[in-house]
Chains A and B, each alone.
Chain A
C-alpha cells in the first residue's frame, strides 16, 4: 500500500472524527440556545 493510499485512510479517519465531534458539539450549542429561548432569558 503506497504512502499516498495510507494518507487517504488517515484523512478519512480524521475527517470522520472531525465531523462526528463538530456535529455533536454544535448540536449541544443549538439545543442550549433553543432551550434558553424557551426559558425566556436568552444567553
Chain B
C-alpha cells in the first residue's frame, strides 16, 4: 500500500505561486486606505486574519487526512496530514506572533485573552504534540496510525475546546480581536482582507504541493532503505577476536 516511486522532476511552479501570492497580499494591504479608528495599525489585520484562517484550514485538512488514512490505510493520506500539520504550525505561530504585534500598540498588552487567539494558541500546542508524536518511530505504518488516531482524537475534542473557550471568554470579554465589533469595516478594507485571505490560501496550496513532495521523498528514502536487501542484522556479529584459538 505504499506509493509508487515519486515523480523525479521537481515542479517549480509552486515557488512562483507562493512569491506572487505574497506580493499580492503585500501590495494590496499597503495601498488600501488606513482604518479611521486604528490608523496604519489596521494593516496588520491583512496578514494576521489570513494566517489565523490558514491555521484553522490546515488543522481541518490534517484531521480529514488522518481520518482518510484510517479508512483507506494508504500512506499518501498520512503524508498529506503531516504536510498540512507542519504548514499549520507555521501559520498558527505566525498568527500568534502577529496577534501580539497588533495587540501591543492597540491595547498596550502583548496578549489579549481573546477567545479566537486563545484557541489558536491551544491548536498550536496540539500541532506540536502531533509533530512530536510523528517523531516517536521510524516505522511508516506505525507512525501513520499513531498520528491518525491522535488526529481524529483532536478533531473530536477541538469543538469542545472551542466551545469552552468561547463561553469562557464571552463571559468575561464580549468584543473579539479578529472581528472588531466597531463600525462596519470600509468596503475597501473588506476587499483587501478578502484578497489577502485568498492569496494566503493559494500560498497554502502551493506549499502543500512542495511539502507533500518532500514527504513523499522522505518516505521513499525510508522505503528504499528498508526494501533493499540490506545486511542481515546477524551478519554484524563475528566471532570475537580474543578467546579460543587466538592466544
B and A form one assembly: yes
Residues of A within 8 A of B (CB): 1, 3, 5-7, 9-10, 12-14, 16-18, 20-21, 24-25, 28-29, 31-32, 35-36, 38-39, 41, 43
Which residues from B are CB-within-8-Å of A25?
A: 15, 18, 207, 210
Would you call A6 and B214 a contact (CB within 8 A)? no
Contact with A along B30-48 (1 / 0, CB 8 A): 0000000001110110011
Can you give 24 A-B contacts (C-beta < 8 A)? A1-B105, A6-B39, A9-B40, A10-B44, A12-B101, A13-B43, A14-B26, A14-B43, A16-B98, A17-B47, A17-B51, A21-B22, A24-B207, A25-B210, A28-B207, A28-B214, A31-B214, A31-B218, A32-B10, A32-B214, A35-B214, A35-B221, A38-B221, A43-B8
Chain A residues with Cβ under 8 A from B39's Cβ?
Answer: 1, 3, 6
- Which of these, B105, B213, B220, contacts A9 with CB under 8 Å? B105
A9, A17, A41: which contacts B104 (Cβ < 8 A)?
A9
- Additional 5 contacts, C-beta under 8 A, given A20-B90, A36-B10, A39-B217: A13-B43, A13-B47, A16-B101, A29-B210, A32-B217
Classify chain B: how many residues form its interface, as a range. Answer: 35 or more
A interface footprint on B175-210 (CB within 8 Å = 1, 0 otherwise) = 000000000000000000000000000010001001
A-B pair number, CB within 8 angstroms: 86
B213: chain A residues at CB < 8 Å are: 32
Contact (Cβ within 8 A) B15 A29 = yes
Q: If the complex has contacts A7-B40, A21-B22, A43-B9, are A13 and B15 also in contact, measured as CB distance less than 8 A? A: no
